[in-house]
Amino acid sequence: MNEMSKFGPQNITAEDMDKERQVTYPTEAFLSREYLEAEKKQLWPKIWQMVERETDLPNPGDWLTYNVADESIIVLRKDDGTLKAFHNVCPHRGRQLISVPDGVHSVRGNMRKNFVCGFHGWTYDLDGKNTYILDPQDWHDILTPENTCLSEVKVDTWAGFIYINMDPASVSLKEWLGRAGEILEYFEIDKMCYKWRQWAVYPCNWKVAIEAFLEPYHVAGTHTQLLAYGDYYAASKQYGLHSVSLYDTREDQFKMAESSGTVRAGKGDDARVSTYELIRENYETVNFTASTEVLVNAASRLKDELPEDATPAEVIAHWQESAKRDDAARGVIWPEIPPEIRAESGLAWGIFPNQNILHGVTFAGPAYRVRPYGDDPGKCIFESYALERYPEGGEPETEWVHAEPTGENWGSVLAQDFGNMEFVQKGMKSSGFRGPMPNPHQEQKVINLHRNLAEYMGMSVPRLFDGKWEK
């Protein structure tokens, strides 16, 4: 569906993107209530969405709700260890089975044997089968197992994440993720667990929020301090529904097979020092993500372990080898990732429509997920988290923490991003704004989001842009 547009020549094609043609699209996707209402019908009930980590439902009877727009889904683990998902609604007269008050991030519990509706007591087992109705004889003979059971929702897992899809006719999760899913599987994200996870209600549309993290093109303008140790020139590429950003480089000396994604040398004369500074600065200011303690420590030793004239390629190779050894010594065995997969895997993946995951060999994060908040196109539920590979038994216990969007809570780099998002939302309302002109080389993930959204929404369709705005 994503390769061929329903809307004819209007929507841009994958080929337009690969050729890096300039594109624009209307701002209604960010601003209009009609668009938000349409998302409730045409987007959220049709797509695979990440719910949580599998480890959040470790035992039979564990359950949680996943809430998006007007939809609420109950996901649970059954006695046989498999997952089930249902719409969170009682088929009798429509009470939510589990009450989810507005503004609550997630409702969860355990030891469930059944779900009893709080209104008239209809009861359902963990297969969604109705097991109790008061006075069924009053309906004469029209009640059947089929019309009194819960409405089932598709559920599947990938990379340790639970996913749901409300559309019974949808493709499988594997097909939905496509090549993006295959590439990320090499990184064994299923073996990682949360280091931290935070959420906030933030004053911008969910697309403004995710777009703020889809492209490194903004680093030079927003995170100026990061330029001291490395350049942030990015390429980006569509993979159907999903897309990737990759560090590109303007200087040939930094092009190397060993360098990809978060593994790269710093700039300047002494790569031993700048590689450490680059990794340390990122780690400390992005809320201790984008690397691990082991990687940072190994980088801190580069100056002592390598001669001054070590090339960037030697620095990277030595750094990775010693971090890998340190990890192995504590029982964290790195996955073997073929070099061509490493190169293709890039820096971070935009998983359509509302996720972005920066991945490494022993960590994933910062990662982001956003959802609409209430009926206001100018608000979203913003979430970020970090995953890491820990030695067995060394995994920290975490919960979702509500954290106001400040530097204190999220690190100074995210605070800089928060400093833009709200004002993008405001700025796009200006009658003087002609329309978005995303960078076709570096911001392709943003363009790809709108290309694919248009396929579901049938509105706000991107088009090729010749540089001339209609007067």
For ligand FES, the binding residues (CB under 6 A) are 90, 92-93, 95, 117, 119-122
Using DSSP, how many helices (H) and how many strands (E) does the chain show? 15, 20
Among Fe ion, ligand FES, none, the one that 463 touches (CB under a kind-dependent 5 to 8 A) is none
Among Fe ion, ligand FES, none, the one that 120 touches (CB under a kind-dependent 5 to 8 A) is ligand FES
Q: Are 387 and 188 in contact (CB under 8 A)?
A: no
Identity of residue 204: C
Residue 90 CB, nearest approach to ligand FES (Å)? 3
Nearer Cβ to ligand FES (148/260)? 148
Nearer Cβ to ligand FES (46/92)? 92
- Here the tokens at position 301 are 């030793």
Nearer Cβ to ligand FES (41/120)? 120
Beta partners for residue 158, in sequence order: 161
- 288: Cβ–Cβ under 8 A, 6 or more apart, which residues? 195, 196, 386, 411
- Which of 247, 286, 284 has its CA nearest to residue 267? 247
Nearer Cβ to Fe ion (417/443)? 417
Among ligand FES, Fe ion, none, the one that 46 touches (CB under a kind-dependent 5 to 8 A) is none
DSSP characters over 216-249: GGGHHHH-GGGGGT----EEEEEETTEEEEEE--
Residue 93 CB, nearest approach to ligand FES (Å)? 4
Among Fe ion, ligand FES, none, the one that 90 touches (CB under a kind-dependent 5 to 8 A) is ligand FES
Could you list the residues that contact Fe ion (CB under 5 A)? 417
Q: Are 299 and 280 in contact (CB under 8 A)?
A: yes
Radius of gyration (Cα) for the chain, nearest Å? 24
- Here the tokens at position 462 are 């991107």
The CB-nearest residue to Fe ion is: 417
SS3 at position 155 = strand
SS3 at position 424 = helix
Nearer Cβ to ligand FES (93/255)? 93
Whole-number Å distance between alpha carbons of 171 and 168: 9
CA torsion through residues 84, 86, 91, 95, sign: positive
Whole-number Å distance between alpha carbons of 134 and 48: 36
Among ligand FES, Fe ion, none, the one that 441 touches (CB under a kind-dependent 5 to 8 A) is none
Among Fe ion, ligand FES, none, the one that 402 touches (CB under a kind-dependent 5 to 8 A) is none
* Residue reference for tokens 């280091």: 195
Residue 117 CB, nearest approach to ligand FES (Å)? 3
Residue 222 CB, nearest approach to Fe ion (Å)? 5
Among Fe ion, ligand FES, none, the one that 417 touches (CB under a kind-dependent 5 to 8 A) is Fe ion
Nearer Cβ to ligand FES (135/304)? 135
Whole-number Å distance between alpha carbons of 327 and 333: 6
Whole-number Å distance between alpha carbons of 210 and 449: 10
Residue 119 CB, nearest approach to ligand FES (Å)? 4
Residue 418 CB, nearest approach to Fe ion (Å)? 9
Whole-number Å distance between alpha carbons of 20 and 12: 11
Nearer Cβ to ligand FES (127/308)? 127
- Here the tokens at position 304 are 């002592």
Residue 87 CB, nearest approach to ligand FES (Å)? 13
Residue 120 CB, nearest approach to ligand FES (Å)? 3
Among Fe ion, ligand FES, none, the one that 93 touches (CB under a kind-dependent 5 to 8 A) is ligand FES
Among Fe ion, ligand FES, none, the one that 330 touches (CB under a kind-dependent 5 to 8 A) is none
Whole-number Å distance between alpha carbons of 431 and 454: 23
Q: Are 138 and 154 in contact (CB under 8 A)?
A: no
Nearer Cβ to ligand FES (94/307)? 94
Nearer Cβ to ligand FES (122/176)? 122
Residue 89 CB, nearest approach to ligand FES (Å)? 9
SS3 at position 364 = strand
